[in-house]
Structure 1
Amino acid sequence: MKPITFLGDSLARLRDFPDDARSEAGYQLRAVQAGDDPADWKPLKTVGPGVREIRVREASGAFRVLYLATLPDRILVLHAFEKRTQQTPQKDIEIAAKRLKAWKD
């Protein structure tokens, strides 16, 4: 299983999710660690090549975890947030892209 590296405050933000959403996000990240796809995801090329978004829909709301799993030695979690609008907010995309760029530099 690949280890997970959390960038910025992504781990703290994930821990702030309500219990049901946090549990589901953790389960989906475990699947990614094992080399599987999460149950509900989509590519986010606007953040960077290979970046994906885990989509968690629970009674408590809609939550997202942005990550990169194409690295040979780890999974990078770039950002985690609650989604309150239909479209992914530009500020959340920018946060993830900035963290990815800083990590690469």
Structure 2
Amino acid sequence: MKPIAFRGSALADLRSFPQSAMREAGYQLDRVQHGLAPSDCKPMPSIGAGVTELRIWDEAGTFRVVYIAKLAEAVYVLHCFQKKTQQTAKRDIELARARLKELMKEIAP
């Protein structure tokens, strides 16, 4: 099982989700840690190769957890947020992209 590593404010952002959405995110991330596919996800090549968006549909709204699991060391959670529109906000994509870039510098200097 791979450990989970949260980047930037991702853990605090995840903890701000409603209880039911946070629990579902935890369950789905546990599946990813064990090498299984989450129930509802899609690739996010606009952020980077191997980046996936976990989609959580909750009565309180729509939530997203952006992560990369292809690296050997851990499942890296780049960004967690509530989605308010059909399209992912540019600032959310840019924040996840910046955290991925920073991560790649750290693990492969």
- Displaced runs of 4 or more, over 4 A: none
Tell me which amino acid in the other structure corresponds to 2:41. W
Separation of aligned partners in 2, 1:53 and 1:37: 12
Q: For each residue in 1:30-75, what CA deviation from the matched residue of structure 2 results, as whole angstroms up to 9, or x when unmatched?
A: 0000100100000000000000000000111100000000011211
**Corresponding residue for 2:42?**
42
3-state DSSP of counterpart to 1:101: helix
CA-atom RMSD, angstroms? 0.5
- Determine what percentage of the aligned residue pairs are the same residue: 51
TM (norm. structure 2) is 0.95
**Corresponding residue for 2:26?**
26
Gaps of 5+ in 1: none
Gaps of 5+ in 2: none
**Corresponding residue for 1:64?**
64
**Corresponding residue for 1:103?**
103
Aligned residues between the structures: 105
